[in-house]
Structure 1
Amino acid sequence: MDATAARGYALITGASSGIGAEFARQYAALGVPLILTARRVHRLQSLAAELASQVDVQVIAEDLEDPAAPARLQAEIQRRRLHVQILVNNAGYGVAGRYLTRDWAVHARFVQLMVTAPSELTWRLLPDLIQSGSGQIINVASFAALVPGADGQTLYAPAKAWLLAMSQSLSLEYADRGVHVCALCPGFTWSEFHDVTGTRAQMSRLPKWVWLSAEQVVRAGIEGVRRGQVLVIPGWRYRGLYQVLRHLPQAWLLRLMARSSRRVRSQG
């Protein structure tokens, strides 16, 4: 991490566990001060206590499912006179089940958290990142953004594809202003994600080679955005798989996704 970036704060959403907490730990090890936000304030405070001996850690509890949360978060950052130089849009979850098995209110909260909140937060903080001359944005997307959507996760792949396309556009628009933007697209990663979606039992049956550690994913993201990569796929197996899949006809890919979805449902 260069000295300029080390002077600004890294704002990490969804920092209470999993990939978000690991971003906090790795940035702290690099000497980058932190702003941690998530719903579960007690977890944020515990993580802040863990890292306080390394860097300054600011905790701002917010639920980004609330449409007013991004504006409140920006206002509190400004009130504390903090300067954000790195933005990690990480907060997220999955909604298991086919589209009509869930009320629209569930889907609306999901879209707010996964699409609207990171888009608005980026819009609100981008002027500071530009002013710094060396801003960085990591949008935690998914390998799901690179393949057809799955049966039973109707809005997940579209939301992650949104983050990927937004990262590409922002990179084109602001790279010449010193802002590096990347979409981090990991495959299956050990975290609480599958506990939240209720799919832990099915996922545990997958072969060990498909799983990535949070440490591996975060390291790839930090190094990738520093190098100016717009698309970062952690793990050589997933990078190889992407190179194969991107050359297959869409009809084949859809059949593969259908077969994979049936297998997962049958194991549930």
Structure 2
Amino acid sequence: MISSSTPSGYALVTGASSGIGAAIAREYARRGVPLILTARRLDKLEQLANELRPQVSVIVIPADLGDPSAPASLVAEIERRSLPVRILVNNAGYGVPGRYTTRDWPVHAQFLQVMIGAVSELTWRLLPAIRESGQGRILNVASFAALVPGADGQTLYAAAKSYLVRFSESLSLENADRGVHVTALCPGFTWSEFHDVTGTREMVSKLPKWAWLETDAVALAGIEGAEKGRVIVVPGRVYQLAHSIARHLPQRWVLRAMGRNSGRIRRID
């Protein structure tokens, strides 16, 4: 059943094939919101779509957002099918392990396209219609890494996620008068494929269980935060407390702590 506060129309979820993106899609389906799912892996998208179709209408449009032409092509296909997007979930993302100069520039360029370029362009292309609805939502999946000083081996990841936070803050101010809620979701360590892709699963598995969040809980926190008009959402009491403490400590102390612990939880080769 769609809540009275939930916009009528489709929710477009990028990076919906697994992890937080798939969890967000499931939560919106539970709420009766029809979905447009996009990611690179068509088989994974179809598997999720088949799971959710008994609840809502689900459209699958595969796209590789690392391709600079993908955002325009995706929106063109959505418009060709006359699908009204009222909720945009910018979730697609990944991490590039290692220090900045240990990776070739094309690797970084594609990363920036997915994490910043595609998010910015999709939002720009879809925002006018979302504004016209008078009750739209934009949910940008950032990271707790955006809220603390950058760590060794996380050069572009933390920076890109910080961009999403500032982007969300400005968009929220610009569009509040049209009933559009813009939210940056900032989860900490979350059980998903993310650490398998970056090759850090063995390292992060040494973290205590209390440091981990479940994808379903993160998705619920993000969607409920967006419905309430919260601009920044930090799921989990542990991370909420850590965020509060980090904001009041001298930055040099936090940087020193990040430097001591970076090599324990991420590759810095």
State the TM-score bracket (shorter-chain normalisation). Answer: over 0.9
- Name the aligned partner's letter for residue 117 of structure 1: A
SS class of match (1:251):
helix
**Residues 208-265 of structure 1 deviation map (CA, whole Å, 9 limit, x = unaligned):** 1100000110000010010000000001111111111101111111101100113346
What per-residue deviation string (whole Å, max 9, x for no partner) do you get for residues 158-209 of structure 1? 0000000000000011011110000000000000000000000000000111
Please give the secondary structure, in 1, of the residue aligned with 2:6.
helix
How big is the shift at 1:71?
0.2
Q: Is the 8 A contact 1:88 1:140 kept in 2?
A: yes
| Alignment correspondent of 2:62 | 61
Count of residues paired in the alignment: 268
Residues in 1 aligned to 2:173 and 2:26: alpha-carbon distance in whole angstroms? 30
Alignment of 1:174 onto 2:172: no
Distance (whole Å) between structure 2 residues aligned to residue 47 and residue 263 of structure 1: 34
2:149 maps to which residue? 148
Tell me, what secondary structure is at the counterpart of 1:7? coil
Amino acid corresponding to residue 11 of structure 1 in structure 2: L
Tell me how far 1:154 sits from its aligned partner: 1.1
User: Which has the bigger relative contact order, CA under 8 A and spacing at least 6?
Assistant: 2
What amino acid is aligned across from residue 201 of structure 1 in structure 2?
A: E
Residue equivalent to 2:215: 214
**One-letter amino acid of the structure 2 residue matched with residue 168 of structure 1:** E
- Map 1:1-268 onto structure 2 (within 5 A): 1-3=2-4, 5=6, 7-264=8-265
Q: Normalised by the size of structure 2, how large is the TM-score?
A: 0.97
Decide whether the 8 Å contact of 1:6 with 1:31 is kept in 2: no
Q: Is the 8 A contact 1:188 1:211 kept in 2?
A: yes
Taking structure 1 as reference, are residues 208 and 267 closer, same or farther at Cα in structure 2, changes over 3 Å only?
Answer: farther
Q: Give 3-state SS (helix, strand or coil) of 1:246's partner.
A: helix
What are the Cα deviations for residues 9-48 of structure 1, in whole angstroms up to 9, with x where unaligned? 0000000001111111110000000000000011101111
Percent identical across equivalent pairs? 65
Q: 2: CA distance between counterparts of 1:7 and 1:226?
A: 13
Distance 1:175 1:71 in 2: 25
State the Cα distance separating 1:79 from its structure 2 match. 0.5
TM superposition shift of 1:64: 0.2
What is the letter of the counterpart of residue 243 of structure 2?
A: Y
Q: How far is the alpha carbon of 1:62 from its aligned partner?
A: 0.2
Partner SS for 2:225: helix
Distance 2:129 2:5 in 1: 14
| Unmatched segments (≥5 aa) in structure 2 | none
The more displaced of 156-165 and 5-14 is 5-14
Residues of 2 paired with 1:238 and 1:172: CA distance?
25
**What is the alpha-carbon distance in structure 2 between the residues aligned to residue 92 and residue 233 of structure 1?**
18
Moved over 2 A (4+): 1-7, 262-268
